[in-house]
Structure 1
């Protein structure tokens, strides 16, 4: 079996688990290819990985059966961007904080490797969104699994986001920004701004304003077949665009269109990994400190 591996810096507490993972992969003769940044970090650490194959971009990935993300949710989002339209299945080991997408705890790495080798897992296909603009804003990585956000820069003034749904005027949002979220991203930035939680396979987008001037402007759920376009006005003549873990400041002449991506993210889930269990454990649903 061939796998690719991407990761970020990890703390000392995670090191024994990561070393054990590489030892187990070597024992099982599983061929591994590392992302260039993670290989550089491992070379500076005490982890012995015995891996020489490296990739810098999706085109450099070898014929991997799957890709493993080692970090938190942000690392898994980076991993999805490295995979792109190749749709290689990805699984996340959580050596970060919340771990809503990266759901495998470090102590279960041996169980994960055995399950992957035996094919005892399921593939969870998640819809993504794609950004279209008159310029290449994110070096060809114009897609996201979680969300796309339009926000003000470092000024204190609000921005105005004129939003259109399938070419029809929807609303002018006077706010600090506007988030367009997938169902997967509904438990992220959108949720912190008052957006609803959607189950992963809902065929929708969420438009969630960030600190709107008009308090009666609420989050809106639309079909993911919708085409959303935006014009932005700002006193500074610029604003910030964010696409998952990537961001860029652009000027207000930039025209933006968001639609459903023509490919999906394929997330590997262990057979006992359940979305509603994750909701209860990560968001403390049903927890009552009085009991």
Structure 2
């Protein structure tokens, strides 16, 4: 019988969750699971607890073993977004333990780690493929080989002095010139993040759509627009400072207005592990307090 292997990825977290990490390692040791842990995270953990000497370290996505069952992300939704850069187009599923606050993506509660892992190892789960966005430019290599985003790609003004103009074409046709602080191009996954806070709609995963949402537009009749994920956007930015900020999930670059952008669906998707207790609408009800009479709070 082949020994089971998993990978663990994480970032620095509050010491209050250390007992849950200890519980996790004890469980994996008891089940005789081979564990590959991200090297930077291992260094952080070593300052918090005594790590098992059976752990194997990996250093980047290139030496992440391809025969692992899944990658376990320890942290919040931001850690889950960063974990995408570890698996990339490998098809390795990601499961997220929520050590953060909101937990839209990292859906496993820290008090239910053992129960969740029992279900995963017993194959009582489904895989949900999530679309990603890809950004590129003819003028320069943006974000090198990590030019993809699970949540959103955002163009934002460089300073606080004035708006920018974002000229957008959709499949070669002029869509709009957005006079605003910026625009957000979001996936269904990212529709409940920054886009939602700027008035964008919630899009169900798997619907085959993206959304472009303006950030503080000058014209109040400019509204978010849902468009097909098979489309391609071209963005040309005008700014008094001749600079703007491009954000790709948690990655940022400052670009000049000479840099034109192409945004489309990435050539690969990411598989998220969803347990029987997980539900998209259940998550919305829980996280957004749908159905609760707020007059009682």
TM-score, reference length from structure 2: 0.95
Quote the residue 1:64 is aligned against: 68
- State the number of aligned residues: 291
Contact 1:69 1:92 in 2 (8 A): yes
**What secondary structure sits across from 2:178 in the alignment?**
strand
Deviations, residues 247-287 of structure 1 (Å, cap 9, x unaligned): 11111111110111111110001111001010000011111
RMSD: 1.1
Q: Does the 8 Å CA contact 2:9/2:37 hold for their aligned counterparts?
A: yes
More displaced 10-residue stretch of structure 1: 265-274 or 134-143: 134-143
1:103 aligned onto 2:107: yes
Query: How far 1:149 sits from its partner (Å)?
Result: 0.3
> Which of 123, 145, 154 is equivalent to 1:140?
145
Q: Secondary structure at the match of 1:49?
A: coil
Give the distance between the partners of 1:85 and 1:114, measured in 2 at CA: 26
| Structure 1 stretch displaced more, 242-251 or 47-56 | 47-56
Q: How many angstroms apart in 1 are the aligned matches of 2:205 and 2:275?
A: 16
Matched with 2:92 is 88
- Report the counterpart of residue 39 of structure 2 in structure 1: 36
Match of 2:294 in 1: 289
How far residue 64 of structure 1 moved from its aligned partner, in angstroms, is 1.3
Unaligned runs of 5+ in 1: none
1:287/1:207 CA distance change after superposition, 3 Å = same
Measure how far apart 1:118 and its partner are: 1.0
Distance 1:248 1:133 in 2: 13
SS at match of 1:50: coil
Structure 2 alignment gaps of length 5 or more: none
TM-fit CA distance, 1:51: 4.2
Residue 130 of structure 1 aligns with which residue? 134
What displacement does 1:199 show?
A: 0.9
- Residue in 2 that maps onto 1:235: 240
Tell me the distance in 1 between the aligned counterparts of 2:163 and 2:52.
49
Q: Distance in 2 between matches of 1:51 and 1:179?
A: 44
Shift of 1:139: 2.5
Deviations 1:19-74 (A, max 9, x none): 10011001111011111221110111124333442222211101211100000000
Deviation at 1:290, TM superposition (A): 3.0
Hey, what's the Cα distance between the residues in 2 that align with 1:186 and 1:26? Answer: 38
Distance 1:199 1:242 in 2: 23
- 8 Å Cα contact 1:19-1:49 kept in structure 2: no
What is the rounded CA distance, in whole Å, between the counterparts of 2:295 and 2:178 in structure 1?
41
SS at match of 2:294: coil
